[in-house]
Amino acid sequence: MDNKRIEYIDALKGFAIFLVIWGHIIIQLGSYPNTTYSIIYSFHMPLFFIISGFFFKSSLKLTPKDFLSKKSFQLLYPWFLWCIILGIDQASSHYLDNRTFLFKIITVFNRWFWFLRELWLSYVITYICYRFLKKGYLVAIIGILFVILIPFLKIQSFYFPLFLFGILLKDNYSLIIKYLDRFLYLSFFIFVVCLFFWNDQYLSAFPNLFSNKTYCYDFPNLYHSLFRWLIGISGTIFFFTLFQKTYRPNSFNFFLKKRGLYTLGIYLLQTIIVENILSRYISFKTINEWFFALVIAPVISLIVLEICTVSVVWANKNKFLSKLLFGSSYR
């Protein structure tokens, strides 16, 4: 299973990247807050981190030098390259006018494509911990303590445990398969109950235990992180087990699976298209929220998804171009 692609997970990734575009279309072209947007964002980023953790252990086969080279080229390189591309675009469009040069640099490299940077950090921290500690439970304890006690990035302290949960999920994969229906129904129940207590305030800022303004720990904020972990994990397990149970080799799943193979390239391109091109020229703020979110936004999302997929597939025909733009050539 380590060396062979798991088709239903590729389809799940295709579904997840569609949710990313759908959520971005809603927030960029429509009105905020939006119920559909809130539901999508309750679990879709935890889903990506957990899936990434699910496949982490294959990285332990690499030497430290090969690991750092491979992951940096796959994740940090496209983050850096596309931040530069986006920075040039925003500078030419005068988006960053009236701001200092240093502030412009911080804005571009801190805001955009943050997922790649955070995922790289999760890989590196986990790899180092496994090299020294070996045992999974020790890795989890020391790793989480590290990101809490050395809060170099407040986002990381929230997403890193989800990455570790993905490793736990892989280690207990046989248990998931054995009790698939129980995990499916229980996770669905927890996810739905959590949604009743979910509100837009949870999306106003990433939950964290450390304040960069006061430089002190804010442990009363712990419930915020715990709740987002619960809804993110339950939503992930629900869709994970749902795709495992219902996946069949048909045209719909083939459509999702193919797009799931190119999530990194799609993620990069949709950021440019949706958040930095369409958002400047198109607005649906005057249209009914539900009609826009459930009818117009999904249609636009599918169009954007297809544009991104076709572009990545075209670039992939030339391995040099694929590596230049996306950090690696797709299989």
Q: Using CA atoms of 295, 255, 82, 91 in order, give the dihedral in degrees to the nearest 10.
A: -30
125 domain residue, yes or no? yes
Q: Quick one: pLDDT at residue 318? A: 86
Total domains, the chain: 1
Find out whether 279 and 29 touch, Cβ atoms under 8 Å: yes
Find out whether 293 and 18 touch, Cβ atoms under 8 Å: no
* CA 37, 39, 41, 47 torsion-angle sign: negative
Q: State which amino acid sits at residue 171.
A: D
1 domain residue, yes or no? no
253 domain residue, yes or no? yes
Rg over alpha carbons for the chain, rounded to the nearest Å, is 20
User: Which helix or strand (DSSP H or E) is residue 147 part of?
Assistant: helix 136-149
3-state secondary structure 210-272: EECCCCEECHHHHHHHHHHHHHHHHHHHHHHHHHHHHCCCCHHHHHHHHHHCCHHHHHHHHHH
Q: Which domain holds residue 170?
A: 7-326
Find out whether 184 and 176 touch, Cβ atoms under 8 Å: no
53 domain residue, yes or no? yes
What is the number of alpha carbons within 13 Å of residue 206 lying toward its C-beta? 18
2 domain residue, yes or no? no
319 domain residue, yes or no? yes
Q: Each residue's pLDDT tens digit in the chain (331 positions)?
A: 444 688 999 999 999 999 999 999 998 898 766 788 888 988 989 999 999 999 999 999 999 999 999 999 999 999 999 988 888 877 776 565 566 555 566 667 777 888 898 899 899 989 998 998 878 888 888 887 777 766 555 556 678 889 999 999 999 999 999 999 999 999 999 999 999 888 766 665 555 666 666 666 666 566 777 888 899 999 999 999 999 999 998 999 999 999 999 999 999 999 999 988 898 888 888 888 889 999 999 999 999 999 999 999 999 888 888 888 888 755 4
22 domain residue, yes or no? yes
36 domain residue, yes or no? yes
Q: State which amino acid sits at residue 10.
A: D
Q: pTM above 0.85?
A: yes
Query: Could you say which DSSP state residue 152 is in?
Result: S
